[in-house]
């Protein structure tokens, strides 16, 4: 398929689907249209920096990125460069609109962003499979599912109500378990080992206490994220003074692991976006060194998808 035809379709699709204003002189889509055509089958750069590549034959979009974070709580899997590198594993130097347009060109259907009112509704849209391709220091090539670099957060407090409080209940001074007498809550921070579980269970025979400790153990185990991403598509806001439209994902929210209405790609399940209760963190042991160049594969999945349940029934509105 000639390159100009693909890019012409790309630009037209973006303009129609997103109700964008007429392209300006510095419009990256228009800039891409000025490039010389290439033979069918080759990767087609969609921006000047050639960090977004359309693989029409392979039916996927490739993003050139690098590792910017290996440890800590996450709001994003991938952000735009110079935006939210402090809470995202990878960074891409490209406009979010170009990535959005590339997915449209592959036939991916835009859905709708997460909604919080009048009641919570998870993001919808074309399921997008994500893979990371990178080469280690020994020259070995790796291809990892996007989910494998993210795990359920363990660097946080786990809380369980203890009601009623066992008669004469008191924690040993040396115990890592904490007791909030005011709120009647037990607190545990971080991963609980099997040895810690067994030792803590000896503190009290009360059934409610035993149940709480076992819950801490189960919740704090290290496990990769199993949720999937959908093409939610973010949204536009219009400047009342100038009439100019702004694509909200340009703030950095390209591929999220916490629900944001501004995300181009969001999880199809519930994931709190409040800073004090983030659900996911970087799976440090699986992520290559900072600065490692990574090719992100975004592959629209057109197979029928099973219905997914929310990850967290106690949803809190994102900040």
Task: Output the pTM of the full model.
Answer: 0.77
C-alpha closest to that of 182 among 161, 201, 156? 161
SS (H, E, C) 258-289: CCCCCCCEEECCCCCCCHHHCCEEECHHHCCC
What is the C-alpha to C-alpha distance for residues 262 and 250, in angstroms, rounded to an integer?
Answer: 9
- Could you state, in order of their start, the residue ranges of all structural domains in the chain? 59-152+225-300, 157-219
- pLDDT of the chain, 319 residues: tens digit per residue: 444 444 444 544 444 444 333 333 344 433 443 444 444 458 999 999 999 999 999 999 999 999 999 999 999 999 999 999 999 999 999 999 999 999 999 999 999 999 878 888 899 999 999 999 999 999 999 999 999 999 998 888 899 999 888 887 889 888 899 999 889 999 999 999 999 999 999 999 999 999 999 999 998 999 999 899 999 999 999 988 888 899 999 999 999 999 999 999 999 887 765 555 678 999 999 999 999 999 999 999 998 766 654 444 333 333 3
Whether 47 and 61 have beta carbons less than 8 Å apart is answered as no
Helices of type H across the chain? 3-18, 28-33, 96-105, 194-201, 207-219
C-alpha closest to that of 133 among 102, 90, 162? 90
What is the C-alpha to C-alpha distance for residues 3 and 1, in angstroms, rounded to an integer?
Answer: 6
C-alpha closest to that of 63 among 54, 72, 76? 54
- Give the Å distances, CA to CA, from 156 to 60, 188, 191, 212, 249: 36, 8, 9, 16, 28
What is the C-alpha to C-alpha distance for residues 106 and 58, in angstroms, rounded to an integer?
Answer: 10
C-alpha closest to that of 256 among 276, 270, 237? 270
What is the C-alpha to C-alpha distance for residues 208 and 224, in angstroms, rounded to an integer?
Answer: 29
């Amino acid at each position: 398929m000639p390159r100009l035809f693909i890019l012409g379709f790309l630009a037209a699709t973006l303009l129609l689907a997103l109700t964008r204003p007429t392209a300006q002189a510095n419009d990256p889509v228009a800039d891409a249209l000025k490039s010389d055509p290439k033979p069918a089958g080759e990767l087609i750069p969609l921006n000047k920096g050639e960090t977004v590549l359309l693989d029409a034959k392979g039916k996927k979009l490739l993003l050139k990125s690098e590792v910017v974070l290996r440890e800590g709580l996450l709001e994003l899997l991938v952000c735009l460069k110079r935006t939210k590198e402090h809470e995202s594993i990878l960074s891409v130097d490209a406009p979010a609109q170009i990535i959005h347009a590339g997915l449209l060109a592959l036939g991916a259907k835009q859905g709708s962003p997460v909604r919080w009112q009048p009641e919570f509704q998870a993001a919808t849209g074309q399921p997008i499979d994500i893979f990371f391709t990178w080469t280690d220091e020994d020259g070995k090539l790796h291809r990892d599912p996007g989910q494998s670099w993210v795990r359920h957060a363990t660097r946080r407090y786990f809380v369980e109500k203890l009601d009623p409080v066992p008669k004469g209940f008191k924690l040993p001074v040396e115990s890592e378990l904490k007791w909030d007498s005011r709120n009647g809550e037990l607190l545990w921070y971080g991963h609980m080992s099997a040895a810690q579980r067994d030792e803590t269970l000896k503190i009290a025979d009360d059934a409610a206490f035993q149940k709480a400790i076992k819950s801490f153990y189960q919740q704090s185990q290290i496990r990769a994220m199993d949720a999937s991403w959908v093409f939610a598509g973010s949204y536009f806001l219009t400047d009342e003074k100038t009439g100019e439209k702004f694509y909200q994902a340009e703030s950095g929210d390209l591929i999220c692991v916490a629900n944001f209405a501004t995300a181009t790609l969001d999880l199809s399940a519930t994931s709190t976006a409040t800073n004090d209760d983030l659900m996911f963190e970087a799976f440090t042991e699986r992520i290559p060194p900072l600065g490692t160049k990574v090719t992100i594969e975004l592959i629209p999945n057109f197979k029928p998808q099973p219905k997914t349940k929310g990850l967290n029934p106690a949803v809190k509105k994102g900040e």
